[in-house]
Amino acid sequence: MFLTVLAHQAESAGREVIAVNPAGTSRTCARCGHSARENRVTQAGFACTACGHTAPADVNAAINILRAGLALRQAAEAA
């Protein structure tokens, strides 16, 4: 229901909505792809134990979600 309303709103604004599976996006490093629970130093903070990348946790997750959405769109276009 929420996605239906959101999709209509986005369409009328000339935007696109792509539903993304959020699993792992909050604990995966947006720089190197390392995924570990230990990457979440706090609720708000992200610090990759593999490459040292640090960012606000929401920003790191948003980059992963954007990347996943763009990959889905690219796959849909290629099909």
Interface positions with Zn ion (CB under 5 A) = 29, 31-32, 34, 48, 50-51, 53
CB of 30 to Zn ion, least distance (A): 8
C-beta closer to Zn ion: residue 50 or 62: 50
What's the rounded Cα separation, in Å, for the pair 77 and 65? 18
C-beta closer to Zn ion: residue 6 or 24: 24
C-beta closer to Zn ion: residue 22 or 52: 52
CB of 52 to Zn ion, least distance (A): 7
Query: Strand 54-56 and strand 45-47: pairing?
Result: antiparallel
37: β partners:
none
CB of 49 to Zn ion, least distance (A): 8
Maximum Cα–Cα distance across the chain: 42
Contacts of the segment 55-58: beta carbons below 8 A, 24+ positions apart: 55/30, 57/26
